Amino acid sequence: MKDSIIRGVKFIGLGFLEPLIRLICKEDPKKNTKEIFRKIIAPIASIFIFVGLWQLGSTALYNTEANYKIEATLKSQGEAEAQKIKECMESGEPNCQPNTLPSPAQVYAAYQTLLKDHRVIAADKKAFKEKTFEMNKKRVAQGKKAITYTGRPSFVDQIKTSLKTVFAGFFLALFIAVPIGIIIGLSKTLRGSINWIIQIFKPVSPVVWLLLVFMIVKTLTKNSDSDSSFIISFISVGLCSMWATLVNTAMGVASVNTDYLNVAMVLRLRPMQKIFKVILPASLPLIFTGLRITLSVAWMVLIAIELLAQSPGLGSFVWEEFQNGAMDSNSKIIVAMFVIGMIGFALDRIMLFIQNLISFEKETI
């Protein structure tokens, strides 16, 4: 029972809970208390230290910015105005707060605001749907287009859009890079002849890929009214991120243990059997390493690409908030930063989970 729970939490990447479970089961309290300190308490303490340092830093920056603002006013508009601004700042009035790194509390408040905003928009959307339900039915029956909600997307909607884009890009990368990787891994000639493409295009910046895709897709979608900004961003994400998978797959396929290949030769396996029973399973660990890198690169470049392609998502959210310059914009950007980081981490964990599920080598980190 205990062991199977421990295996379970380890399997889903929560191995740090192991000593806690052992302690609850009254197993070796001294050693496990020490382990709990090392694996659970120390990391939590580090979070507090991080937040504390952040608080100190933001306070220092706030003071610098505030003093500068007061002095500037003092110089240009006289003492009365400066005093007014100082009072305004101290009263906590949002409009006269200096614009700088927000404190943890402000970021948390912005997080709450975003959630509330989401709830309002979601309710709005639902109401809209109910209101137009009957009408849309009729319109569809008449062969017209249904009326869709066109209001502002909430923060959560932006996250969903970003995830949709990143997965579309990831699967594009997967379906391009894995087959090509296998083919060039199998053939030395092809590997030699295609290598220059990989070496030259691998280091190209996401921005340039976006522009390239934009040139092509813009022309191709001229006559259709489909959402070209989504297409552009997911193709760019796919093209940017596929290289790691391509290189790793080719390397994995090319470096299969010769013992396995000899066995396949002696047993005279047919080419397809050889690929699916021997070569692919043997190179799976490397392919998955590639896919993990691809997914994290995809998520990283996605933000930049959305920002430039002006397609909806977290990237455009960040950019809009920056342009917006409202009082809590900075805080919202920091919220987005944490959300981006955590989703990236979660995506990596999911990949690791799948890798452990299907890989024969159990000890992958």
Partner 1 sequence: MNTTNNSTIERFPSNEVMLDLIDLKKVYPTPKGDYIVLENLNLQIRKEEFITIIGHSGCGKTTMLSMIAGLNEISGGKISVLGSSIKGPGPDRGVIFQSPSLMPWLTTMENVMLGVRKVYPHATKKQKEDICKYYLHKVGMDSTFNKRASEISQGEQQRVGIARAFAIKPKVLLLDEPFGMLDSLTRGQLQDVLIDVWNKEKITAVMITHDVDEAIFLADRVVMMTSGPRAKIGDVLSIDFERPRTRKAILEHDDYYTYRKHLIDFLEH
Residues of this chain that interact with partner 1 (CB under 8 A) are 259-260, 262-263, 265-269, 277-278, 281-282, 284, 359-362
Nearer to partner 1, 10 or 277 (CB): 277
Complete DSSP assignment for 318-358? HHHHHHH--TTHHHHHHHHHHHHHHHHHHHHHHHHHHHHHH
Nearer to partner 1, 135 or 267 (CB): 267
Question: 102-108, long-range: CB within 8 Å, 24+ apart, which pairs?
Answer: 102/58, 102/328, 102/330, 102/331, 102/334, 103/54, 103/55, 103/58, 103/59, 103/62, 104/51, 104/54, 104/55, 104/58, 106/328, 106/330, 106/331, 107/331, 107/334, 107/335, 107/338
CB 256 within 8 A of CB 279: yes
Nearest approach, Cβ of residue 258 and partner 1 (Å): 9
Nearest approach, Cβ of residue 4 and partner 1 (Å): 18
d(CA 74, CA 97) in angstroms, rounded, equals: 17
Nearer to partner 1, 56 or 263 (CB): 263
Nearest approach, Cβ of residue 281 and partner 1 (Å): 4
The two structure tokens encoding residue 95: 């409009």
Q: Which amino acid, 147?
A: I
The two structure tokens encoding residue 166: 């990143």
Nearest approach, Cβ of residue 278 and partner 1 (Å): 7
Nearest approach, Cβ of residue 284 and partner 1 (Å): 8
Nearest approach, Cβ of residue 270 and partner 1 (Å): 9
d(CA 336, CA 349) in angstroms, rounded, equals: 20
Nearest approach, Cβ of residue 279 and partner 1 (Å): 11
Nearer to partner 1, 59 or 364 (CB): 364
Dihedral sign, Cα of residue 348, residue 349, residue 351, residue 355: positive
| Three-class DSSP category at 55 | helix
* CB contact set of 58 (below 8 Å; sequence gap of 6+): 100, 101, 102, 103, 104
d(CA 161, CA 155) in angstroms, rounded, equals: 10
CB 296 within 8 A of CB 285: no
Nearer to partner 1, 24 or 267 (CB): 267
Nearer to partner 1, 282 or 350 (CB): 282
Nearer to partner 1, 257 or 324 (CB): 257
Nearest approach, Cβ of residue 188 and partner 1 (Å): 17
Nearer to partner 1, 166 or 256 (CB): 256
